[in-house]
Amino acid sequence: MTKLKGKVLAGKVLVKPQEAEDTTASGIIIPDSAKEKPRQGTVVLAGAAKKDEEMEVKNGDTVLYGKYAGQELTIDGEDFLLISQSDILYIA
């Protein structure tokens, strides 16, 4: 992964989503049209804390987030997801 320049605003988190599974546990290949949108990723950049909410995630954390959370972005040819900290459901 390339080193990103810039920062995200307060309360926001830039996440690198994990790749969707290509096969099931039993070995069946899943076509692209049937793949689930990933709901887990790694925090790449975390913004500063908001006045009324401390920032609980940090760079490198693995997080779970809602299915329709955030805004998809492509930066330097890589796909990322920009979400609010409040959309994060679990920090692993």
Confidence of residue 35 (pLDDT cuts 50, 70, 90): low
Record the tokens describing residue 16, joined without a space. Answer: 């690198």
Answer yes or no: is pLDDT of 1 > 60.
no
CATH classification code of 12-20+29-91: 2.30.33.40
Quick one: average pLDDT of 6-29? 82
- Is pLDDT above 90 for 43? yes
Backbone angles phi, psi at 76, to 5 degrees: 55, 40
